Amino acid sequence: MAYSWFKAFHIVGFVVWFAGLFYLVRLFIYHVEANQEPEPARTILKNQYQIMEKRLYGIITNPGMYVTIAMALGIISTEPDILKEPWLHFKLLFVAVLIGYHHYCARLMKQLAADECRWSGQHLRALNEAPTLMLVVIVMLAVFKNNLPTDLTAWLIFGLVVFMAVSIQLYAKIRRRNKEKQLEQLNQVPQA
């Protein structure tokens, strides 16, 4: 019975953790793009994003990570033989990368607060795709374990994920170009 409780809350933990990571980097994008706004909007937006980032990281993202890790340790304590499974070693490798990503987000948050972040909105959009790819790999390993499919269906799903990531990037680029065109048109309008 303990295994089921640990597993249930492990799933809840990683859903919360990923939700926090997805939204956190989205806030970073808005924070960076606030630099393009005129004053006083720039300062107001940057201050608001900084508050939102701190709260999201401290109240949702960190606890989600802690619950995920604690429940994983609970699962291992009830099923220690699981540590012998090769799929788990790969999963733990991706989880370690995800923990590194999590802490790198904290570093970016501090840089944004100090106005020292050199990342553009476009770079942050690309960074925001990393947890999606890690989520797909981690879930696939957890579901299929040592029988991870390598057939055409698996490659189609992988291709779909890559296509979605590329589409998001292209959409952002088109949106940015349209905004730049609108600004150019506004600047070309003669003042009365």
d(CA 38, CA 15): 37
What does pLDDT average to over the chain? 90
Q: Is pLDDT of 157 > 90?
A: no
Question: Do residues 124 and 29 touch, judged by C-beta distance below 8 A?
Answer: yes
What's the pLDDT at 151?
74
| Between 46 and 149, the higher pLDDT residue | 46
What's the pLDDT at 12?
97
Ranking 7-16, 53-62, 66-75, 164-173 by mean pLDDT, the lowest is 164-173
Q: Is pLDDT of 192 > 60?
A: no
| Between 41 and 166, the higher pLDDT residue | 41
Q: What pLDDT band is residue 22 in, cutting at 50, 70 and 90?
A: very high
91 assigned binding-site residue: yes
Q: Is pLDDT of 191 > 80?
A: no
What's the pLDDT at 161?
77
What's the pLDDT at 94?
94
What is the per-residue pLDDT across 30-45, written as a single tens digit (0 to 9) for each?
999 999 999 999 999 9
| Between 97 and 183, the higher pLDDT residue | 97
What is the per-residue pLDDT across 88-132, written as a single tens digit (0 to 9) for each?
999 999 999 999 999 999 999 999 999 999 999 888 988 988 898
Alpha carbon of residue 29 to chain centroid: 12
DSSP structure string for 53-97: HHHIIIIIIHHHHHHHHHHHHHHHHH-GGGGG-HHHHHHHHHHHH
Question: Do residues 17 and 109 touch, judged by C-beta distance below 8 A?
Answer: no
